[in-house]
């Protein structure tokens, strides 16, 4: 498939589509989420601050099994346009933190398709879909996120492999084992059915990865929490993007260093590859 065979005018008709869903920041949800992050004391009481990136657990898209595609995602054509490219990836995004989620709050998520853009990459056509998510509580807007999704063609096993940059030296760093149980638990707490995170055969034979893929939002969560720990307070804005897939079966590191604007953060595979990077900012732009 090439760019000319994709009906971008039709796909762009999805721009402006919106959906709203409601959920509760329950104590059980928070405890399970913090347990996935290996917090030794995951229990929180009503009214306590919830984890910074708990929004990726809230109001997930829920579809019956009969409405799922072969990759475990919901079939296309609802809120997101029916892009006719087989593989979907989490490319990155930006979070603007306006407040804190609190245990017991009822949260409303409003999601709107903002843009659909067609590009050509090394592997062929790429379709980028930009979705805005606004999360509000009884206190008002808590978090706004721009979510960048990319659809791509199937991997060509004979194509030249892209050059992946090495991770830089870090001022602060810690290690995490990319264990299949970690990936399964994060998929479960976020209701993410994408099979690349728990079905090794599908991930290798159908999507061309070397093993199970560590979730982009899980890496972003660890970087965001690390930023708040290093500085002692959550940032006002957090930009993140994927660089290369992070696979299971070995330790990876979560890293940070100072920048004039705040912190540069990244995850690195055991072989030193840069996998995901982010920028945390504490000043108004």
Q: How far apart are the first and last CA of the chain?
A: 41
pLDDT tier for residue 1 given thresholds of 50, 70 and 90: very low
CATH architecture for residues 3-281: Roll (3.10)
Q: Render pLDDT for 20-57 as a digit per residue (tens, 0 to 9).
A: 999 999 999 999 999 999 999 999 999 999 999 999 99
C-alpha angle 114-117-118 in degrees, rounded to nearest 5: 160
pLDDT in tens, 213-243: 999 999 999 999 999 999 999 999 999 999 9
Residue 70 and residue 72: Cα distance in Å, rounded?
A: 6
Sign of the torsion angle spanned by Cα atoms 126, 184, 103, 63: positive
Residue ranges covered by each domain of the chain:
3-281
Reduced to 3 states, what is the DSSP secondary structure of residue 68?
Answer: strand
Question: What distance in Å separates the CA atoms of residue 180 and residue 95, rounded to the nearest whole number?
Answer: 27
Say whether pLDDT at 158 is over 90. no
DSSP 29: H
Q: What is the mean pLDDT of residues 135-164?
A: 87
What's the whole-model pTM score? 0.93
Percent of the chain with pLDDT over 70: 95
| Mean pLDDT score of the chain | 93
């Amino acid at each position: 498939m090439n760019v000319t065979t994709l009906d971008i005018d039709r796909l762009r008709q999805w721009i402006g589509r919106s959906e709203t869903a409601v959920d509760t920041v329950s104590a059980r949800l928070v405890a399970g989420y913090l347990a996935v992050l290996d917090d030794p004391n995951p229990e929180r009481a009503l009214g306590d601050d919830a984890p910074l990136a708990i929004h990726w657990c809230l109001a997930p898209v829920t579809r019956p099994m009969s409405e799922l595609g072969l990759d475990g995602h919901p079939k296309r054509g609802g809120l997101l346009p029916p892009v006719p490219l087989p593989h979907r990836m989490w490319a990155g995004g930006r979070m603007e933190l306006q407040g804190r989620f609190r245990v017991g709050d009822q949260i409303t998520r409003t999601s709107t398709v903002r843009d659909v853009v067609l590009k050509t990459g090394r592997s062929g056509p790429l379709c980028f879909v930009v979705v805005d998510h606004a999360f509000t509580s009884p206190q008002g807007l808590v978090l706004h996120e721009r979510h960048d999704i990319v659809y791509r063609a199937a991997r060509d096993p004979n194509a030249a492999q892209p050059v992946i940059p090495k991770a830089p030296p870090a001022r602060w760093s810690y290690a995490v084992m990319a264990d299949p149980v970690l990936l399964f638990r994060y998929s479960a707490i976020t209701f993410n059915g994408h099979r690349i995170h728990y079905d090794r055969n599908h991930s290798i034979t159908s999507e061309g990865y070397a093993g199970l893929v560590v979730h982009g939002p899980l890496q972003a969560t660890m970087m965001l929490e690390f930023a708040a720990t290093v500085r002692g307070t959550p940032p006002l804005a957090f930009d993140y993007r994927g660089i290369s897939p992070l696979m299971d079966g070995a330790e990876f590191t979560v890293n940070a260093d100072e920048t004039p604007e705040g912190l540069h953060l990244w995850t690195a595979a055991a072989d030193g590859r840069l996998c995901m990077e982010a920028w945390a900012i504490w000043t108004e732009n």
